[in-house]
Amino acid sequence: MRMRNLPWAEPFLAEQSAVIKDPATYKGKWKKTLERSCLHVEIGTGKGDYWIQMGQQYTDLGWIGIERNKNVAALAMKKFIQQCPDADHMLFINQDAESLSSWFDEAEIDVIHLNFSDPWPKKRAHKKRLSNKKFIQQYAYVLHPEGEIQMKTDNASLFEYSLLEFQKEGWILHDVSVDFRREEHPEDAISEYETRFMNLGQPIYRAVWKKATSTPLINEEHQEKKLPSIDRK
């Protein structure tokens, strides 16, 4: 959906101290700046509902929101000022996440959230998807070895594509659901788009990936219960 132009957006964003204008100067310093030892980043916040709710729920963590569209970013910041006037653990970047690895140092981020990312259905536009290998390779650099990507979407083809892209890049699928909201998940906020799709009765797909360097999901305890290998005669 095209967002209408808000003439006040740019000057408004320019005067907000929570909007980081030159994120590269914070590289390696985000946790120190926020005085938090764990850093979560949401890419494509839209109007900020998820970033704000999670920031309110988990004040002991650092929360960075990234949104490239200045109009929606301005609406997110307006909400943020109203709802979190004293938050010192949340910052915002109004730029394209394609420069992610120049803003964050190696292993600096603990969790990256991708909520209802644009599906870019045409094949020639797949490179713009936030689960395209171009982005995944940057996630591999900025994520902590034990860190994770949490993705939610309503879009089955984007979900399939993402499962395959992460697999091709050697990531480990740690959790997957094709109807995440079938059960209550008070630990995870419902984003604006998620509300829309839930109201339409659509299932929410969710996946969590970790880097191949992370601790394997199958530990010794699980291995004991592993099915015997098929004896091929």
Ligand X SMILES: C[S@@+](CC[C@H](N)C(=O)[O-])C[C@H]1O[C@@H](n2cnc3c(N)ncnc32)[C@H](O)[C@@H]1O
For ligand X, the binding residues (CB under 6 A) are: 43-46, 50, 66-69, 72, 96-98, 115-118, 130, 191-194
Residues 6+ apart with CB under 8 A from 119: 129, 153, 155, 157, 158
Closer of 118 and 179 to ligand X (Cβ): 118
Closer of 13 and 172 to ligand X (Cβ): 13
Catalytically annotated residue among 22, 105, 110, 118: 118
Task: Verify whether residue 49 is a known catalytic residue.
Answer: no
Closer of 59 and 99 to ligand X (Cβ): 99
Shortest distance in whole angstroms from residue 87 CB to ligand X: 19
CB 67, CB 45: distance < 8 Å: yes
Q: Which of 111, 108, 113, 98 is nearest to 48 (CA)?
A: 113
Closer of 16 and 69 to ligand X (Cβ): 69
What are the residue ranges of helices labelled H in 46-132? Answer: 49-57, 70-83, 100-103
Shortest distance in whole angstroms from residue 120 CB to ligand X: 9
Q: Which of 72, 99, 66, 95 is nearest to 4 (CA)?
A: 72
Q: How far apart are CA 221 and CA 69, in angstroms?
A: 47
Q: Which two tokens stand for residue 106?
A: 């190696």
Q: What are residue 219's DSSP bridge partners?
A: none
Residues 6+ apart with CB under 8 A from 3: 69, 71, 72
Shortest distance in whole angstroms from residue 1 CB to ligand X: 8
Shortest distance in whole angstroms from residue 206 CB to ligand X: 12
Q: Which two tokens stand for residue 140?
A: 């591999």
**Catalytic machinery residues:** 118
